[in-house]
A and B are shown apart, each in its own frame.
Chain A
Amino acid sequence: MIQLQHIERVFQVGDEEVHALSDVTMSAESGEYIAIMGPSGSGKSSLLNILGLLDRPDGGSYELDGLRVSGLNEKEQARIRRHKIGFVFQFFHLVPRLTAFDNIALPLKLSGMTREERQTRVTAALSAFGLGNRAQHRPDQLSGGQRQRVAIARATIMQPSLILADEPTGNLDRHAGVEVAEILEELNHQGITLIMVTHDPDLGRRAHRRILMVDGRIDHDSSRTRT
């Protein structure tokens, strides 16, 4: 499903070149559950941004579902993000002035779906994520765990094939964190590819495959050692 070949990402900091990613090659099958781990500054977020088409590599190629997406223009990449990729962030990134319902409906709205269709899909998502009685609450009226559940509902409402989660439990207490991890794993069970960045070893252990990043390189990939 995912094929990264010799990905390079270089940032210019002052007059020094910083290699956020150098020669990263990896692949992932559909339905995998991968944790990208490593110390801060190791390039794990950069890798996630490349995977999510939020950033462009300076070298190498990226194939998603057989399509060479690294060569697409901004519009086409936006389209792929819209339909294939769901994002879950550490700080939830909910729109503060919108209700839980409207936050979840946002991707549907942006893709031009009618109000009636949205209504049924969002209502179903709300109850599926245990938010049935929180539909009209704004983010500041929700707990951290509830906020992240709204964010996950939003990430999955377009039925993407890939979920990218950047420290999804990083801003939650232990209990809420486990709950969120279980929800993400349940989605993975249903066949969605789940890739998450974390430096929480407990969360990392739950993943089926762990990729350890050090200094912009893949230092260790559990799938390679196993096979």
Chain B
Amino acid sequence: MSHIQARDFFRYTINGLRAQRLRSVLTATGIAVGIGAVVLLTSLGTGLHHFVLAEFSQFGTNLIAINPGKVTTHGISGALISNVRPLTIEDGEALGRLPQVLDVVSVVQGNAEVTGGGRQRRTTVYGVGAAAPRVWNIGVATGRFLPDDPPRAARAFAVLGHKVRQELFGSTQALGMRVRIGGETFRVIGSMESKGQLLGFDIDDAVYIPTSKAMALFNQESLMEIDLLHATSSSSAAVAEQIRKVLQSRHNSEDFTITTQEKMLEVLDGVLGTLTIAVGSLGGISLLVGGVGILTIMSIAVNERTGEIGLLRALGVERSQILTLFLGEAVALAAIGGVVGLGLGIGGSRLFSLLVPALPSHTSWGYVIAAELLAILVGLVAGVLPARRAAGLHPVEALRAE
């Protein structure tokens, strides 16, 4: 019989807030805006996260890229000192003989003027092998892809990306036509399906020619990258280890970098997760402002209700209960504001997806719960100072206030 019942405590708290309705609503609005911003921004962040990961994982997770030069983060910043042995077509062939490796593409890339069908277009030229469509997961629309010619003696064939085909030949037949790339003439044997954009890069705006031809065109001695696809039955890490051994024995040193798609997705996942949290923290700033609002209003409330505090003490309310009472009001303000903010944020992100379908948003329940807990925490922290002042008042002084 010595402690107020939870329901009565709750009522007394709400009653205190309702007595100053406008003020309470405005204060809670501050928190609502903060929480709304956090939820909206994290929703957009999470949406972007999912979107980017989906874009990347369309290549499959069994893709491994090898680049020349060892990227290290210790010592002198001379990652590409003179004794780097470049990657060669032969390196690619050697890797292709590994049992777990399904396909290998030796890549050289550059920009060149492509002339054909009476038009010209500056575009990206990829020097690749016959396996490129399989490794990169792009389909051939018409004709066929580059044949499996001996790498050093490939014929001058070209396959056009969707956009290049459209731009040069329009609706007319492109197969069998000739295009000039750099100084050399190539015969068009196929064109690719449209893949659209990947993170702003138009991968349809490309021409594929044999690796050795591209090396000559761009005056390159070596490859820029080797991409390979491994059997899904073996782990990326195990295959990467095999690759490391093969290349190390061929180069006598580790002067190359292996990037597995799995690892890349992991890194990307981490980066995007951090980005989401960073963006959410921006929303958190407005939450902080809301917290200051609660602090101010609760301080005013303690001043105004000093007489009431004195009375409660006279009626036998303990100091700790006074503390709980005012903390309770601060937390209630924040929690109510938080719930409204959740509604605003979720509604806002839904509306956003409706208006701008290209920019995906995804409300994650984890963030929603975290945001509400954050609101309560803000209320708690903002309430501590005024509540402590209320509890610290001397009853005689407090009673004299009225």
Contacts from A to B (Cβ < 8 Å)? 49, 52, 54-55, 74-75, 78-83, 87, 89, 91, 93, 95-98, 106-107, 109-115, 154
Contact = CB atoms under 8 A, between A and B. Distances in A.
Contact of A54 (B12, B15, B314): B314
B163 interface: no
Interface stretch (B51-59, B165-173, B394-402): B394-402
B310 A110 contact: no
Nearest to B7: A115
A111 B4 contact: yes
Interface in B312-339: 312-319, 321
Contact of B402 (A78, A93, A154): A93
A135 B316 CA distance: 24
25 contacts: A52-B314, A54-B313, A54-B395, A55-B394, A55-B395, A75-B318, A78-B313, A78-B316, A80-B316, A81-B315, A82-B315, A91-B402, A93-B308, A97-B18, A98-B15, A106-B315, A109-B4, A109-B12, A110-B315, A110-B316, A110-B317, A111-B4, A112-B1, A112-B4, A112-B8
B5 interface: yes
Nearest to A97: B19
B343 interface: no
B83 interface: no
B340 interface: no
Nearest to B8: A109
A82 B316 contact: yes
Contact of B5 (A55, A87, A112): A112
B396 to A, nearest CB: 5
Contacts of A80: 316
Contacts of A112: 1-5, 8
A80 B314 CA distance: 10
A55 B310 CA distance: 12
A111 B2 contact: yes
B307 interface: yes
- Interface residue tally of chain B, by bracket? 20 to 34
Interface of B: 1-5, 8, 12, 15-16, 18-19, 307-308, 310-319, 321, 394-396, 399, 402
A52 B395 CA distance: 11
Q: Which of B3, B314, B396 has the most CB of A within 10 A?
A: B314
Interface residues of B: mostly helix, strand, loop or mixed? helix
Contacts of A115: 8
- Listed from nearest, the 4 A-B pairs whose CB atoms lie closest are A82-B316, A97-B19, A81-B316, A93-B311
Given A74-B318, A81-B315, 18 more contacts: A54-B314, A54-B395, A54-B399, A79-B2, A82-B315, A83-B316, A87-B315, A91-B402, A93-B311, A93-B399, A107-B315, A107-B316, A110-B315, A110-B316, A111-B3, A112-B5, A115-B8, A154-B315
A98 B15 CA distance: 8
A93 B307 contact: yes
A114 B399 contact: no
A56 B318 CA distance: 15
A114 B19 CA distance: 24
Contact of A78 (B5, B308, B311, B318): B318
A132 B316 CA distance: 26
A54 B311 contact: no
B396 A49 contact: yes
A110 B312 contact: yes
A137 to B, nearest CB: 16
A93 to B, nearest CB: 4
Given A109-B8, A109-B12, A112-B3, A79 B314 contact: no
Contacts of A106: 315
A161 to B, nearest CB: 14
B344 to A, nearest CB: 29
B3 to A, nearest CB: 5
Contact of A74 (B307, B311, B319): B319
A154 B308 CA distance: 14
Contacts of B395: 54-55
A83 B2 CA distance: 10
A171 B83 CA distance: 99
A109 B394 CA distance: 23
Nearest to B316: A82
Nearest to A54: B395
B396 A110 contact: no
Contacts of B394: 55
A167 to B, nearest CB: 12
B22 to A, nearest CB: 14
B396 A54 contact: yes
A115 B6 CA distance: 12
Nearest to B11: A109
A111 B313 contact: no
A83 B317 CA distance: 11
Contacts of A75: 318
A93 B310 contact: yes
A96 B402 CA distance: 12
B15 to A, nearest CB: 6
A87 B19 CA distance: 25
Nearest to B394: A55
Q: Which of A74, A110, A111 has the most CB of B within 10 A?
A: A110
